[in-house]
Structure 1
Amino acid sequence: MKSIKLVLVIVSVMLSTIALANTNPTEDKVKMTVISKEIAKLLENPSFALERNASVTVKFTVNKKNEIVVLSVESENNEDTIAEYIKTRLNYKRLTNNIKSEVYTLPIKMVSL
C-alpha cells in the first residue's frame, strides 16, 4: 500500500512539473509574435525601392531601457542599403513589451513592389 502511494506521489509531482514547464514557452512565443509585429511596423515604408525580394537575418538584444540594440544584419546579397536601413530604423527604439536581455534572431523578408 505504501509503495502505491509513493508511486502516485511521484507521478503527480512529475505531471505537475511537466505542466509548469510547458506554460512558459507559450508566453514567450506570444511575446515574440507581438515584438515581431512591432519591428515590422518600425520597418514599414522604406525610403528606397527594392529591385528584388530580399531575405535578411537580424540579430538583436534588448537593453535595460527596453530598447532594441541591433548586433548584426546579414543578407543573402550583402546589400548595404538594406542593412543600414534596418539599423537606423531599429537601433535604440523602445519596445512596448518587456523582454529578457538575450540575443534574438529574427528573419525578415523584404518584398519588392
Structure 2
Amino acid sequence: MLDELLMRINSLLRRQQHNESNSAKTLVIDDLIIYPEEARVLRSNEEINLTQKEFQLLLLLAQANGRTLSKQHISEEVWQNQFQTTQNTIEVYINFLRKKIDKNFENKLIHTRPGFGYYLAADK
C-alpha cells in the first residue's frame, strides 16, 4: 500500500516537473506541429481535432523525442492510474491517433516497436 502511494507521488512529481519544463514549447516533428498551451495540433497546416486523452497521448509521445515509451509508462502518464488501463485501451488510443495523424499522409509518424512500446518520429 505504501509502495503504491510512493509510486503515485513520484509519478505526479515527475509529471509536474515535465509539464513545467515543456508546457510553453511548440513541438515540431516533420510536418506535425503541436501547441501544448492551446491543445492544438496541425499536420501539413491542416488542423487535427483530438480528444483530451488523444492530445495527452500525442503530447507525451512528442515530448519523448523519439524514445520508445512502454504501455506501462503511457498508462501512468496519460491515465494517471485513475482506473485499470489495459493494454487494449492503449492500443485503441494509438489506433485513434494513427487514423487522425497518419492516415491521410504518406509519411507516418506514429510507430510501434514490438515488445517495447510506441514512439513518434519521422520515417527514416
Normalised to the residue count of structure 2, the TM-score between the two structures is 0.31
Q: Report which of the two has the higher share of helix.
A: 2
Q: Which structure carries more relative contact order (alpha carbon 8 Å, separation 6+)?
A: 1
TM-score (norm 1): 0.33
